[in-house]
Amino acid sequence: MTTQRDRAFAFGMRMRRAGHILEGMKRAPVIVHPPCTGGRRVTLYGQDLGRALRRGDVAAYLRRAGFPTAEFTWDDTRLIEWRDGGPDVWSTP
């Protein structure tokens, strides 16, 4: 059985192999949604990857999706859109 995470991973790998990860994109492919109970939802190209409780979780999702996590910074708006708080905000106000 294929899960959403598996599909997002496969899509991320296809995009990476095709060389389209950061080129020609108008919107960041990774969205870290506002903090709520249970962490921040992380999506890749609209596919839900799960809930992150810290930056390390986001990095793990990106590695699984085939993104070279060593080659970006957390404030790289071409890659990640942080909604309602940046990479240091993990709890609801």
Two tokens at 91?
Answer: 């709890």
Q: Is the pLDDT of residue 21 over 60?
A: no
pLDDT-derived band at 22 (thresholds 50, 70, 90) equals very low
Pairing outcome for strands 40-44 and 30-32: antiparallel
Put simply, whether the predicted model's pTM sits higher than 0.85 gets the answer no
Residues 43-58: tens digit of each pLDDT: 998 999 999 999 999 9
- The CA–CA distances, whole Å, from 19 to 4, 7, 25, 27, 69 equal 22, 18, 12, 16, 15
Q: Is the dihedral of CA 82, 83, 88, 90 positive or negative?
A: negative
Name which residue leads in pLDDT, 40 or 91: 40
